[in-house]
Amino acid sequence: MSNGDGNSSFSEITKKVTKKGLSGRSYKTKAGLTKKPKKMRGRKLSSQRWLTRQMNDPFVSQTHERGLRSRAAIKLEQMDDKHKFLKPHINIVDLGCAPGGWLQVVAKRCRMDAGIGRLVGIDLLDTEPVNGAYILKGDIFDENMIKEIKSYLNGYADIVLSDMAAATTGHRLTDHLRTMSLLEAALDFADDVLSDSGIFLAKAFRGGAEKSLLTALNNKFEKVKHLKPPASRVESVETYLFAKGYVGANKSEKSKN
C-alpha cells in the first residue's frame, strides 16, 4: 500500500520539467510540441506513454521542486485549500502513508512540530521519517498496531486519512474492487478511532461497488461528498470520499434517542 503517484526510477527524467500549470492535463511547449523523454527505444508502449505524461505533468514538476515525496501531496493540499479540514492541535492518522507525501502536508499545516497535536502514519512499506509524525510499519488489520496507534493518540483521532490503493492489474473492475475493499478496511479502522464530529477522507475508484460504501458513510457521517482535486488526472477514475461529522452509531438510530 502506498500513496505515491510517481516512480522513483524515473525521477531524473521528471525533475527536468520546470513549467507549471493549473490542471492535470499534459501541456505543450512554446513550439507547440509535447515534450518526449529520451531513450524510449525498447520500452513498452504503456511505459512510453507514462514517461511522456510524467514529463509534461506540471504537478510532477511541482512535486520535485518543492521537495514533496509524492504528487498525491498536492492533491491533499488542494482538497484542504477548499474544505479547510487540516487545523493545528488535532490528532490525525494517515493509512497507507508511504512514501510520506501526505504526512509532509499534514505535519506542516497542522503544526505538528508544536507538539500538541498527534500524527500517526502506517504502511506495509518503509517510510522515511517526517518531522512531527510517528510512523509505523505494519498492517491496519493487526490488533496490536491498532492498540499502539490508539495509545499514541490518547484514544482517539479527529481525522482519518487514507490514500491506499491496491496494486493495479490493468483490469478496471478488479482494480476498483480491490481498492474499494481497502477503503472499507479504512472505514472500519475509522470506526475504531474517530472522535465525535470527526472527518474521514479516503481514495476511491468510481464504479458500482461504491454504492454500498456510500450508504455506510451516510449512516455514520452528517455530510458525505466526492472530491476531485485538480491534480487528479481528468482521465483517471480516481476520486476521494470526504465525510465529516462522524456520529458513530447509525444516524437514524441516534435521532430516535
Pairing of strands 221-227, 194-205: unpaired
- From first CA to last CA, the distance across the chain in angstroms is 40
Sequence ranges of the domains in the chain: 8-65, 72-256
Alpha-carbon separation of residue 16 from 65, 121, 192, 216 (angstroms) = 10, 30, 44, 44
Predicted confidence at residue 255, as pLDDT, reads 41
The CATH code belonging to domain 72-256 is 3.40.50.150
Per the structure block, which three cell numbers stand in for 158?
479527529
Per the structure block, which three cell numbers stand in for 18?
520546470
d(CA 223, CA 213): 14
- Is 38 one of the catalytic residues? no
Selected catalytic residue, list 35, 203, 223, 225: 203
Residue 61 one-letter amino acid: S
Predicted confidence at residue 250, as pLDDT, reads 53
Predicted confidence at residue 246, as pLDDT, reads 97
Per the structure block, which three cell numbers stand in for 110?
497542522
d(CA 188, CA 171): 26
What is the biggest distance separating any 2 CA atoms in the chain, rounded to whole angstroms?
68
Residue 253: how many CB atoms within 10 A of its CB? 10
d(CA 87, CA 110): 5
Residue 49 — φ and ψ, nearest 5°? Answer: -65, -40
pLDDT tens by residue, the chain, 257 residues: 555 453 333 233 233 333 333 233 333 334 444 555 556 555 565 554 544 454 555 657 677 788 899 989 999 999 999 999 999 999 999 999 999 999 999 999 999 998 899 999 999 999 999 999 999 999 998 999 999 999 999 999 999 999 997 777 777 777 778 888 899 999 999 999 999 999 999 998 876 556 788 899 999 999 999 999 999 877 778 899 999 999 985 544 434 44
